[in-house]
Amino acid sequence: MTKNDTVRAKNVFDLIVVGPGSAGFSAAITAAEQGKHVAIIGGGTIGGTCVNVGCVPSKTMIRAAEAMQARAVAQRFNGISGEAKLDRWKDVIDHKNELVLELRQAKYADLLPQYETISYIEGMARLVQNGVDVGGQQYKSDKIIITTGSHSFIPPINGILSVPYLDSTSALDLTTLPKSMIVIGAGVIGCELGQMFSRMGTKVTLLCRSNVLDGAEPEISEALTDYLRDEGIDVHCGSVYESIEDDGEICLRYQYEGETHDLRAERVLVATGRKANTAGFGLEEIGVKLAKNGGIIVDDFLQTNVAGIYAAGDVTGRDEYVYMAAYGAKLAAQNALNGNHLHYSNHVMPAVVFTDPNYATVGLTEAQARSQGIDVKTSTLDLKHVPRALAARDTRGLIKLIADGKDNRLVGAHILAPEGADTIQTTALAIKIGMTFTELGEMIFPYLTTVEGLKLAAQTFDKDVSKLSCCAG
């Protein structure tokens, strides 16, 4: 609670933030740094999705699963063997929970006492005229930012609500490792968790209506599909779900390549995306408009159609990444308190899927560029041409660059590589400053790094890099 008793007694704040996650804290801290009195309305676990049930727990579990690949990695090198085994699944889960608790405390709960003008109010919020109602107590402010996040979307498959399905949250809390698992959806969550469970020893079948990582460059989608299959995951693209039931084990009936199949497994993970948390906050009563996907509609300043009410993060139904939520919330707070002057932009928004190899992307895909009327030029480089990949004995992946043919400016970059996550930011900077592929190809890159592949991919626009010596060009 704030130490300013006068403000608290009046229940009047310069800003009220509804939602206790990364976006909510970003908005509140931004306001507090300006000396403003802020109320964060909880109504959920402090820290929100990312630290509690999203980024942090999933990525530490994915890292743990990488250790199970010791044999596969060792076999790439002559004269070396390796072995790893899962001793106790519950210990892995407990270790994950320890990290979640540690970061939740350090990055959220322990921060509150350091900001004297921030009040943390626990309870479910409902927007009312000139403020927010929490359990019958009203808190007033003419500036409100909604940062209530999102939840797992459950598709309307016949019988789905009658089976004990898992979502990304409950899957990471399983106390017993399933022997077999059906994963419905091959987007970010389906691919990441499907591969993680497979590496831990679960027999995984991955199904999707279209393609793996639908919307990604086709070359990358096809390559990742092959890599997942190489690891023993059954992948069925183009599946049409008919029904699901629990008759002692999960049975999913679906159509694939024109035939009806029954697929059985111990558990089923539903990974078909997320939906904005907008129900129960009184948004409709005060006139806040929602998009068709359920997200709150905001303008370039993050303001809704109702003056003084802003929204940021997953609740807007777009750019569902924690760093975009924090970025947007910071802008929303500055605009709410100082007048609309900062524009939200996702023009150079890097994104990563933590599969192995990583899929990292920024800017436009080839299809998006063409749809915008850009005179597209592309280059595609197989990792077999990247010295780092050769030295690591792991040439899985590719790099694809998109440029505007009129001036050779880079407009998109897409990387599938074991270290792609740590490589993509170079191209984000290149796109942001308007660099051409010629300029990128002329830059000095350290030898035997994955990022050097960007230089080679840039050179591939107008030369055959297989004819270059090491570090040439």
pLDDT > 90? residue 3: no
272-288 mean pLDDT? 96
Q: 121: which 2 tokens?
A: 């109010």
Superfamily of domain 160-273: FAD/NAD(P)-binding domain (3.50.50.60)
Q: Which amino acid would we find at residue 425?
A: Q
pLDDT for the residue 380: 98
Q: Which three-class secondary structure string do you get for the chain?
A: CCCCHHHHHHCECCEEEECCEHHHHHHHHHHHCCCCCEEEECCCCCEHHHHHHCHHHHHHHHHHHHHHHHHHHHCCCCCCCCCCCCCCHHHHHHHHHHHHHHHHHHHCHHHHHHCCCEEEECCCEEEECCEEEECCEEEECCCEEECCCEEECCCCCECHHHCCCECHHHHCCCCCCCCEEEEECCCHHHHHHHHHHHHHCCEEEEEECCCCCCCCCHHHHHHHHHHHHHCCCEEEECCEEEEEEECCCEEEEEEECCEEEEEEECEEEECCCEEECCCCCCCCCCCCCECCCCCECCCCCCECCCCCEEECHHHHCCCCCHHHHHHHHHHHHHHHHHCCCCCCCCCCCCEEECCCCEEEEEECCHHHHHHCCCCEEEEEEEHHHCHHHHHCCCCCCEEEEEEECCCCEEEEEEEEECCHHHCHHHHHHHHHCCCEHHHHHHCCCCCCCCCHHHHHHHHCCCCCHHHCCCCCC
pLDDT for the residue 76: 95
pLDDT > 90? residue 25: yes
Q: Which residues fall in the annotated binding site?
A: 59, 148-150, 185-192, 273, 314
Terminal-to-terminal C-alpha distance of the chain: 61
Residue pair 309/284 in contact by the 8 Å Cβ criterion: no
Task: Tell me the per-residue pLDDT of 300-327, one tens digit each, with 9 for 90 and over.
Answer: 999 999 999 999 999 999 999 999 999 9
Q: What angle do CA 190, 217, 376 make, to 5 degrees?
A: 160
Helices 55-66 & 188-200 angle (0-180, nearest 10): 40
Provide the 10 A C-beta neighbour count for residue 373. 7
Q: Which residues fall in the annotated binding site for NAD(+)?
A: 185-192, 273
Q: Which residues fall in the annotated binding site for FAD?
A: 59, 148-150, 314
273-291 mean pLDDT? 96
The CATH class given to the 351-463 domain equals alpha beta
pLDDT for the residue 472: 58
Residue pair 117/29 in contact by the 8 Å Cβ criterion: no
Task: Tell me the per-residue pLDDT of 159-186, one tens digit each, with 9 for 90 and over.
Answer: 999 999 999 999 999 999 999 999 999 9
Closest of 20, 55, 264 to residue 172, by C-alpha? 55
- Looking at 4-8, 163-167, 377-381, 418-422, which range is the least confident one? 4-8
Domain ranges of the chain: 5-47+108-152+275-338, 160-273, 351-463
Task: Tell me the per-residue pLDDT of 196-254, one tens digit each, with 9 for 90 and over.
Answer: 999 999 999 999 999 999 999 999 999 999 999 999 999 999 999 999 999 999 999 99
What kind of architecture, by CATH, is found in domain 5-47+108-152+275-338? Answer: 3-Layer(bba) Sandwich (3.50)
Closest of 340, 355, 445 to residue 396, by C-alpha? 355
pLDDT for the residue 145: 98
Note whether 5-47+108-152+275-338 and 160-273 share their fold. yes
Task: Tell me the per-residue pLDDT of 29-44, one tens digit each, with 9 for 90 and over.
Answer: 999 999 999 999 998 8
**Beta carbons within 8 Å of 208's beta carbon, 6+ residues apart:** 184, 185, 186, 187, 190, 214, 236, 237, 238, 239
The band of 99, judged by pLDDT with boundaries at 50, 70 and 90, is very high
Q: What is the mean pLDDT of the chain?
A: 95
